Each structure stands twice: as C-alpha cells, then as structure tokens.
Chains A and B, each alone.
Chain A
Amino acid sequence: MAEYMVEVLDAVKKFKETVALNHVTARFETGRIHGIVGRNGSGKTVLFKCICGFMQLTSGSILVDGRPVKPGTAQEIGVIIEEPGFIGSLSGYKNLKLLASIGKKISDADIRIALERVGLDPDLKKHVSKYSMGMRHRLGIAQAIMEKPKLLILDEPMNGLDKQGVAEIRQVLKQLNREGATIILSSHYAEDIEVLCDTVYEMDAGILTFIKR
C-alpha cells in the first residue's frame, strides 16, 4: 500500500473564468482521517469529485493508492458527495443489495452489518422515498462503508443528522479508521474536525492550506 492514499499534485480546475482549484497540492497519508474545512463554494466538493473521477482536472494530477485517477473507470472508494440519492421504491436494504451486486465483494450479512452500524434496521420494509433526511444520510454512509473500501471520501457526512446520529457516525468512522481505512471528509461542524481528524486543511477560493496535524 502506498504511503499516501491520495496525492493531489498541482491540481487546477477551471469552469470558464472561475478557478475552483488553484494549483492545489496535498498528500493525504494512508490510514489517517483528514479533514477539509471551508465555506460553501470554496472548492471542497470539486476536489472530492476530482479524486473520485467524476470531474477532470484542467491541469495537474491526482493519484489514489499510487495510481492516477482515470475518469471513466470504477474505483474502490466509498463516497458521499452532496445529497445522497437512492431508488425511492425500494427499502434501504434492497438499495444496498443492488449496489453491492455490482462488485460482488460482500455478502448479505455484510450489508446488514453496515446498516446496523449506522443505526438503521436492515429488516425495515419502508421505502426509501419515505425516509427522513437523517435516515437517508445514514443510508448514504452505509453504502459508502459497506464494502470496506480503503478510501472514504465524505462530503458533509453529518448533514441532516441529530446529535445522537452525529455521535454514532463519528464512532463508526473512528472504528473504520482503526480497521485501516483512510478517510477524507469535509464538515461544517468544527467539532467533527476536532474530534475525528488527524490532519486538517482549509480550502478557500480554490486554495488548499494545511492548518494542523
């Protein structure tokens, strides 16, 4: 495994005249939890999308586990970016089962464990269209963690969760980190960053600054 799970090297992303990422360079160590803080529109989500291959850099490069990100290919990354969406006519369990059937890496029991870890009942028959915002976010986290990826990219994972939910998810993320996962997350909650993160960066107007270890 590479020393750095994610390496962002002189990354520039422009949308016409707007510079979303302005020569960003950062190396995210393997096996740690990295936090990125910053206002809305500062470029955090764009950086996450580029790491996942949903967006292409204007220049520069990104390596995940030592390999360059190719926009068209599947990746072993657990991801939540923006508001998580699911098939509304299926239960949470069936939604995850459908996603898990693509990679075929995990069993039904693993899906149940992932749901229980985020505080959702695997046997709940309710359709996702009737889930509350908090339940949808928990389900989003469950889909990100269920296949035990080496890298988790979580954009505002605590959005829509109540206090208890936030505490539970923090525990889950810590546990996953102890099991070896590298986590890069953004959050509006200063406490998330304080409690969870080993290293903290700040994104402002597309410029990423290292704040603390």
Chain B
Amino acid sequence: MTDLKTILLCALVNFRKWMVNPRIYTLAAVTVGFLSWHSAGLSQLSAAVGIDVTPWVFPNLLTTSAMVAVFTCFIMLFFCDAPFADSHTPFLIIRTGRRNWMIGQLLYIILASFIYTVFFLIMSVVVLLPNVQWDTGWGTILKTIAANPGIGDNYGIKLTVFVHPLIVDMFSPIEATIISFGLFWLTSAFIGILILCGNVITGRTGGLVMAGVFLCISFFTEYLGPLTFGGYWIRYLSPINWCSICCLDWNKRGEWVSPSYAVISLVLAIVFMGIVSTIVFCNKDMDIQKRG
C-alpha cells in the first residue's frame, strides 16, 4: 500500500545522509567557486564604475550554452548515484516496500532540486557582496550590460555574465527571477529523474550516460543544430536548454520553444520517467552498493 508518511520518510532519510556524504560538500564548494568566477567580472565592473549591482543576476546566469553545460554537470554530480541505494536500504525496504521507497526517491529528487535551486539563487547574490545594491529594478549595471555586452572591455574586465536585452525589456526582475527559478528547478528535477530512471533500468550508470547525451544535444542544438537541420525544430528535443529563461520563445517568433511547451514537456517527462522507474524497480533484483 502506498503511504504518504512512509514515502516522505524515505525521502527525508536521504537528506539525513547529506551530513556524511562528501559529494554534497564538494558540490556546494564547486557551485560557490563557479559562481564566484562567473560573477567576478560583474563585481569588478561595479567597483570600477562605482555603482553597485542589483541582486537580480540569477535569471542571467545561464544565458550561454557553456553555462548550461556547467549547470548540467553540477546536477549530474548531485544525482549521479540515483536511486541512492546503499547498505542501509534493505532495512528500509523490508519495512516500507519497494514502491513506497522508490516514490520516496522521486520525491527526494524533486525536493533536493528545489533546495539546490534556492542555494544557487542565494549564492548568486552572496558572491556579489559587498557590491550589491538592494533595489527592485534591474539597476544601471545589468541594464548597461544588456545594452552593451562589451562594456567590460572599456575597463579591461572580462564579463562572462550576459544579460539578455529581451528579458530586461519584457520582465521585471522579480518576474524574471520567479520564472528562472521555476525553470531551473524543473530542469534539475528532470535531469535527476532521468539519471534515476536510466540507472534503474540498466542497473548501472545508464542514466548518467543518458544525461550526458542530453548535454551533448543541448550543445549541438545551439551551435550546429540549426545549421545542420536548417531549422529550429531541434530545440524542441533539447530539454536541458529550457533551464534558461533566455532559451524560450517569449515574443512568439518561433525560433525558440514556447514556455508552455517546455513546462508541459518537462512535467510529463518527469511523471513518465517516475512511473517507469517505479514499475521497473518493483520488478527487478535490488542492486545494493556497499557503502553508507
């Protein structure tokens, strides 16, 4: 029988294991290190012109394919060992049943993706300190970069954050942050459940390979895809790109995937892979890793 409390407990057990999991500390450190490097140009520009940056950098962090690839690698590191079975797992499964336990793992991925998104959002502001100006508008620095991406060159500063002019024009910072947060979370959960599903089906690291394939597709889509296939339809097959607000068709020109298509596809894919994972896991031998 499916029991909500048991499912929640199975998910929470994984969070309890974070404290003794070096991978979690590594991921946190690498994320902060990456964000520090990525935002260093902004801080330097802010100091050079004497104007602080507003804290709305988050929607503009994944504006290039390279940054999307880095983000994907972080999520792959986070969920690489899905379905998170270790020598503690038999004690749980004998009491919960496999279905409850597996649904707990799916819930864990969704919750952990949310926490990671919150962490990413907070750290994107923290790394800019003390050059942050608390304002509900985009602010001078971000607007200037949107209008003139080469502004850093005037001061000998290399900027890696590109602010999309369309986003600045169309959305308020809060709107853009909320939308970006949702997309980031949804895509993280999609990658996590993709890894879980592939790993469960293959019994090995097939899910990680599948995530790697999607990563390659996302690169191909942006650089060679439209040239090779003579159209933008390939973007409809690259869900990882949808983590960025800049990669969606907000002005309905047809070059990008529509936001509703992206959200519905990601949700359907998550649900479908979740169901497949649960069915497969309940009907095959348990593979327990000797750790934990």
Residues of A bordering B, CB below 8 Å: 49, 52-56, 71-75, 77, 79, 81-90, 98-99, 101-103, 129, 143
Contacts and interface: CB of A to CB of B under 8 A. Distances in A.
Q: Is the interface of B mostly helix, strand, loop or mixed?
A: helix
B87 A85 contact: yes
Nearest to B95: A102
A77 B94 contact: yes
Contacts of B95: 74, 99, 102-103
B16 A99 contact: no
B5 to A, nearest CB: 9
Interface in B250-292: 282-286, 288, 290-292
Q: Is the interface of A mostly helix, strand, loop or mixed?
A: loop
B9 A101 contact: yes
Contacts of A81: 90
Nearest to A98: B13
B17 A79 contact: no
Interface of B: 6, 9, 13, 16-17, 19-20, 86-100, 282-286, 288, 290-292
Contacts of A143: 91
Contacts, number: 84
B87 A84 contact: yes
Contact of A89 (B17, B100, B285): B17
A102 B17 contact: no
Contacts of B92: 99, 102
B94 to A, nearest CB: 5
Contacts of A90: 16
Nearest to A149: B94
Of B13, B87, B282, most A-chain CB atoms within 10 Å: B87
B207 to A, nearest CB: 21
Nearest to B291: A85
